[in-house]
Amino acid sequence: MRQLIAGNWKMNGLRTEGLARVAELRRAVQTDPPPCDLLVCPPATVVEATIRALEGSGIAVGGQDCHAEDKGAFTGDIAAPMLAELGCRYAIVGHSERRRDHGEDDAKVRAKALAAQRAGLIAIVCLGEREAERDAGQADAVVAGQLEGSWPEGGTGANTVIAYEPVWAIGTGRTPTLAEIAGVHALLRVRLVTRLGEPGRQVRLLYGGSVAPKNAAEILAFPNVDGGLVGGASLKVEDFIAIARACRPG
Protein backbone atom coordinates (compact mmCIF):
# COMPACT_ATOMS: atom_id res chain seq x y z
CA MET A 1 0.00 0.00 0.00
CA ARG A 2 1.12 3.55 -0.67
CA GLN A 3 2.64 5.08 2.43
CA LEU A 4 1.34 8.22 4.11
CA ILE A 5 3.50 10.88 5.72
CA ALA A 6 1.48 13.10 8.00
CA GLY A 7 2.81 16.30 9.55
CA ASN A 8 1.40 17.33 12.92
CA TRP A 9 2.34 20.95 13.52
CA LYS A 10 0.78 20.91 16.99
CA MET A 11 0.34 24.43 18.47
CA ASN A 12 2.98 25.99 16.26
CA GLY A 13 2.72 28.59 13.57
CA LEU A 14 0.94 31.87 13.14
CA ARG A 15 -0.69 32.38 9.79
CA THR A 16 2.25 33.96 7.96
CA GLU A 17 4.65 31.27 9.11
CA GLY A 18 2.23 28.46 8.29
CA LEU A 19 1.47 29.78 4.84
CA ALA A 20 5.14 30.24 4.04
CA ARG A 21 5.68 26.63 5.09
CA VAL A 22 2.90 25.25 2.87
CA ALA A 23 4.05 27.35 -0.09
CA GLU A 24 7.54 25.90 0.26
CA LEU A 25 6.12 22.40 0.65
CA ARG A 26 3.97 22.80 -2.44
CA ARG A 27 6.95 23.94 -4.50
CA ALA A 28 9.10 21.05 -3.27
CA VAL A 29 6.42 18.48 -4.08
CA GLN A 30 5.78 19.92 -7.53
CA THR A 31 9.47 19.91 -8.38
CA ASP A 32 10.06 16.34 -7.25
CA PRO A 33 6.98 14.43 -6.04
CA PRO A 34 7.72 11.96 -3.21
CA PRO A 35 6.56 8.34 -3.57
CA CYS A 36 3.88 8.67 -0.86
CA ASP A 37 0.70 10.48 0.13
CA LEU A 38 1.18 13.67 2.12
CA LEU A 39 -0.93 15.24 4.82
CA VAL A 40 -0.45 18.34 6.95
CA CYS A 41 -2.36 19.02 10.16
CA PRO A 42 -1.92 22.69 11.05
CA PRO A 43 -3.43 24.51 14.03
CA ALA A 44 -7.20 24.98 13.57
CA THR A 45 -6.78 28.72 12.97
CA VAL A 46 -4.72 28.08 9.85
CA VAL A 47 -6.61 25.10 8.44
CA GLU A 48 -8.76 27.02 6.00
CA ALA A 49 -5.93 29.12 4.59
CA THR A 50 -3.76 25.99 4.31
CA ILE A 51 -6.46 24.19 2.34
CA ARG A 52 -6.71 27.11 -0.06
CA ALA A 53 -2.95 27.31 -0.43
CA LEU A 54 -2.71 23.58 -1.21
CA GLU A 55 -5.66 23.33 -3.60
CA GLY A 56 -4.81 21.08 -6.54
CA SER A 57 -1.46 20.06 -5.03
CA GLY A 58 -2.59 16.59 -3.94
CA ILE A 59 -1.45 17.35 -0.38
CA ALA A 60 -4.26 16.66 2.09
CA VAL A 61 -5.08 18.74 5.15
CA GLY A 62 -6.40 17.52 8.48
CA GLY A 63 -7.39 18.68 11.93
CA GLN A 64 -5.38 17.80 15.05
CA ASP A 65 -8.48 16.79 17.01
CA CYS A 66 -12.26 16.80 16.81
CA HIS A 67 -15.06 16.60 19.36
CA ALA A 68 -17.04 13.41 19.83
CA GLU A 69 -20.33 15.25 19.27
CA ASP A 70 -21.37 16.87 15.99
CA LYS A 71 -22.45 20.12 17.67
CA GLY A 72 -23.50 21.55 20.99
CA ALA A 73 -22.45 23.45 24.09
CA PHE A 74 -18.75 22.54 24.09
CA THR A 75 -16.89 25.82 24.41
CA GLY A 76 -13.62 25.94 22.55
CA ASP A 77 -14.02 22.61 20.79
CA ILE A 78 -14.21 21.87 17.08
CA ALA A 79 -16.64 19.37 15.59
CA ALA A 80 -15.73 16.95 12.84
CA PRO A 81 -18.34 18.38 10.41
CA MET A 82 -16.68 21.79 10.85
CA LEU A 83 -13.35 20.37 9.70
CA ALA A 84 -15.05 18.53 6.84
CA GLU A 85 -16.84 21.71 5.76
CA LEU A 86 -13.49 23.46 5.35
CA GLY A 87 -12.20 20.66 3.15
CA CYS A 88 -10.22 18.62 5.66
CA ARG A 89 -9.85 14.96 4.79
CA TYR A 90 -8.39 13.71 8.07
CA ALA A 91 -8.62 14.29 11.81
CA ILE A 92 -6.04 13.10 14.32
CA VAL A 93 -7.74 11.72 17.43
CA GLY A 94 -6.31 10.45 20.71
CA HIS A 95 -2.86 11.97 20.35
CA SER A 96 -0.96 11.27 23.57
CA GLU A 97 -0.81 15.00 24.30
CA ARG A 98 -4.64 15.07 24.23
CA ARG A 99 -4.85 11.89 26.28
CA ARG A 100 -2.46 13.44 28.82
CA ASP A 101 -3.61 17.07 28.90
CA HIS A 102 -7.33 16.58 28.29
CA GLY A 103 -7.93 13.31 30.08
CA GLU A 104 -8.99 11.49 26.91
CA ASP A 105 -9.38 7.76 27.44
CA ASP A 106 -9.91 5.01 24.90
CA ALA A 107 -13.70 5.35 24.99
CA LYS A 108 -13.45 9.08 24.28
CA VAL A 109 -10.97 8.49 21.48
CA ARG A 110 -13.27 5.88 19.92
CA ALA A 111 -16.19 8.34 20.12
CA LYS A 112 -14.05 10.96 18.38
CA ALA A 113 -13.05 8.51 15.67
CA LEU A 114 -16.74 7.72 15.12
CA ALA A 115 -17.49 11.44 14.88
CA ALA A 116 -14.77 11.78 12.26
CA GLN A 117 -16.22 8.81 10.38
CA ARG A 118 -19.76 10.32 10.42
CA ALA A 119 -18.35 13.53 8.95
CA GLY A 120 -16.63 11.63 6.14
CA LEU A 121 -13.16 12.24 7.57
CA ILE A 122 -10.41 9.67 7.95
CA ALA A 123 -9.57 9.34 11.65
CA ILE A 124 -5.92 8.91 12.59
CA VAL A 125 -6.25 7.09 15.90
CA CYS A 126 -3.10 7.46 18.02
CA LEU A 127 -1.94 5.01 20.63
CA GLY A 128 1.31 4.06 22.32
CA GLU A 129 2.81 2.98 25.61
CA ARG A 130 4.54 5.11 28.26
CA GLU A 131 8.16 4.52 29.13
CA ALA A 132 7.40 2.76 32.43
CA GLU A 133 5.05 0.41 30.60
CA ARG A 134 7.71 -0.49 28.06
CA ASP A 135 10.29 -0.98 30.82
CA ALA A 136 7.86 -3.29 32.59
CA GLY A 137 7.49 -5.40 29.44
CA GLN A 138 3.88 -4.28 28.99
CA ALA A 139 4.14 -2.37 25.71
CA ASP A 140 2.39 -5.02 23.61
CA ALA A 141 -0.43 -5.47 26.10
CA VAL A 142 -0.95 -1.70 26.48
CA VAL A 143 -1.01 -1.09 22.74
CA ALA A 144 -3.32 -4.05 22.08
CA GLY A 145 -5.67 -2.78 24.79
CA GLN A 146 -5.68 0.73 23.36
CA LEU A 147 -6.45 -0.63 19.89
CA GLU A 148 -9.32 -2.66 21.28
CA GLY A 149 -10.70 0.31 23.22
CA SER A 150 -10.13 3.05 20.63
CA TRP A 151 -11.02 1.30 17.38
CA PRO A 152 -14.34 2.64 16.06
CA GLU A 153 -17.11 0.26 15.02
CA GLY A 154 -17.40 0.44 11.23
CA GLY A 155 -13.72 1.29 10.98
CA THR A 156 -12.03 0.22 7.73
CA GLY A 157 -8.85 1.04 5.88
CA ALA A 158 -10.85 3.70 4.03
CA ASN A 159 -11.88 5.69 7.11
CA THR A 160 -9.38 4.82 9.85
CA VAL A 161 -5.60 4.96 10.22
CA ILE A 162 -3.70 3.84 13.31
CA ALA A 163 -0.64 5.74 14.50
CA TYR A 164 1.65 3.91 16.92
CA GLU A 165 3.44 6.59 18.91
CA PRO A 166 5.32 5.49 22.01
CA VAL A 167 4.77 8.37 24.43
CA TRP A 168 8.42 8.45 25.47
CA ALA A 169 9.58 8.80 21.85
CA ILE A 170 7.52 11.90 21.08
CA GLY A 171 9.66 15.01 20.81
CA THR A 172 12.57 13.37 22.61
CA GLY A 173 14.86 12.30 19.78
CA ARG A 174 14.62 8.74 21.12
CA THR A 175 12.97 5.93 19.20
CA PRO A 176 12.31 2.26 19.91
CA THR A 177 14.64 -0.19 18.26
CA LEU A 178 13.68 -1.23 14.76
CA ALA A 179 12.77 -4.66 16.12
CA GLU A 180 10.46 -3.08 18.68
CA ILE A 181 8.72 -0.98 16.05
CA ALA A 182 8.38 -3.97 13.75
CA GLY A 183 7.04 -6.05 16.64
CA VAL A 184 4.32 -3.60 17.63
CA HIS A 185 3.26 -3.05 14.03
CA ALA A 186 3.06 -6.79 13.43
CA LEU A 187 0.94 -7.14 16.57
CA LEU A 188 -1.39 -4.35 15.45
CA ARG A 189 -1.75 -6.01 12.05
CA VAL A 190 -2.61 -9.37 13.58
CA ARG A 191 -5.20 -7.76 15.86
CA LEU A 192 -6.77 -5.87 12.95
CA VAL A 193 -6.94 -9.00 10.80
CA THR A 194 -8.45 -10.91 13.70
CA ARG A 195 -11.06 -8.21 14.07
CA LEU A 196 -11.78 -7.30 10.44
CA GLY A 197 -10.58 -10.31 8.48
CA GLU A 198 -8.51 -9.73 5.33
CA PRO A 199 -9.63 -6.05 5.07
CA GLY A 200 -7.58 -5.53 8.24
CA ARG A 201 -4.54 -5.60 5.97
CA GLN A 202 -5.75 -2.41 4.28
CA VAL A 203 -5.61 -0.29 7.45
CA ARG A 204 -2.60 2.00 7.38
CA LEU A 205 -0.33 1.71 10.40
CA LEU A 206 1.82 4.80 10.91
CA TYR A 207 4.80 5.05 13.21
CA GLY A 208 5.29 8.32 15.11
CA GLY A 209 7.79 9.59 17.65
CA SER A 210 11.02 11.37 16.69
CA VAL A 211 10.85 10.44 13.02
CA ALA A 212 13.60 12.41 11.29
CA PRO A 213 15.47 12.36 7.98
CA LYS A 214 18.23 10.27 9.59
CA ASN A 215 15.99 7.41 10.74
CA ALA A 216 13.08 7.59 8.28
CA ALA A 217 14.36 5.19 5.62
CA GLU A 218 15.04 2.34 8.04
CA ILE A 219 11.74 2.76 9.89
CA LEU A 220 9.69 3.12 6.72
CA ALA A 221 11.29 0.05 5.12
CA PHE A 222 9.49 -2.37 7.45
CA PRO A 223 6.44 -4.32 6.39
CA ASN A 224 3.37 -3.07 8.28
CA VAL A 225 4.87 0.40 8.60
CA ASP A 226 2.60 2.23 6.20
CA GLY A 227 3.88 5.71 6.87
CA GLY A 228 4.79 8.15 9.59
CA LEU A 229 3.22 10.74 11.84
CA VAL A 230 5.78 13.50 12.14
CA GLY A 231 5.76 16.29 14.73
CA GLY A 232 8.90 18.39 15.16
CA ALA A 233 10.42 17.53 11.79
CA SER A 234 7.22 18.55 9.97
CA LEU A 235 7.89 22.17 10.89
CA LYS A 236 10.94 22.23 8.64
CA VAL A 237 9.95 21.58 5.03
CA GLU A 238 13.39 20.29 4.11
CA ASP A 239 13.18 17.62 6.82
CA PHE A 240 9.53 16.76 6.15
CA ILE A 241 10.16 16.27 2.46
CA ALA A 242 13.33 14.26 3.15
CA ILE A 243 11.22 11.91 5.29
CA ALA A 244 8.61 11.67 2.52
CA ARG A 245 11.31 10.84 -0.03
CA ALA A 246 12.50 8.02 2.22
CA CYS A 247 9.20 6.16 1.65
CA ARG A 248 9.03 2.89 -0.23
CA PRO A 249 7.97 3.44 -3.81
CA GLY A 250 4.33 2.36 -4.05
Nearer to ligand PGA (CB atom), residue 178 or residue 196 = 178
CB of 230 to ligand PGA, least distance (A): 5
- Compute CA distances 104 → 110, 126, 154, 244, whole Å: 10, 11, 21, 30
CA distances from 46 to 13, 23, 41, 49, 149 (A): 8, 13, 9, 5, 31
- Min CB(217)–ligand PGA separation in Å: 16
Looking at the Cβ atoms of 3 and 200, the one nearer to ligand PGA is 3
Count of other CB atoms within 10 angstroms of residue 175: 20
Q: Which CB sits closer to ligand PGA, 171 or 223?
A: 171
Active-site residue, from 97, 129, 133, 165: 165
Q: What number of other Cβ atoms are within 10 A of residue 176's Cβ?
A: 22
State the minimum distance, in angstroms, from the CB of residue 75 to ligand PGA: 25
Residue burial 110-126, b: 16+ Cβ < 10 Å; e: rest: bbbbbbbbbbebbbbbb
Return residues touching ligand PGA (CB under 6 A).
8, 165, 170-171, 208-211, 229-233
3 contacts 217 by C-beta, under 8 angstroms: no
Give residue 195's identity as a one-letter amino acid code. Answer: R
Closer residue to ligand PGA (CB): 34 or 209 = 209
Q: Among residues 95, 97, 129, 133, which one is catalytic?
A: 95
Residue nearest ligand PGA by beta-carbon distance: 231
Q: How far is CA 76 from CA 34, 135, 187, 193, 230, in A?
A: 36, 37, 37, 37, 25
Min separation Cβ 193 and ligand PGA, Å: 25
- Residue 165 annotated among the catalytic residues of the structure: yes
Catalytic residues: 95, 165
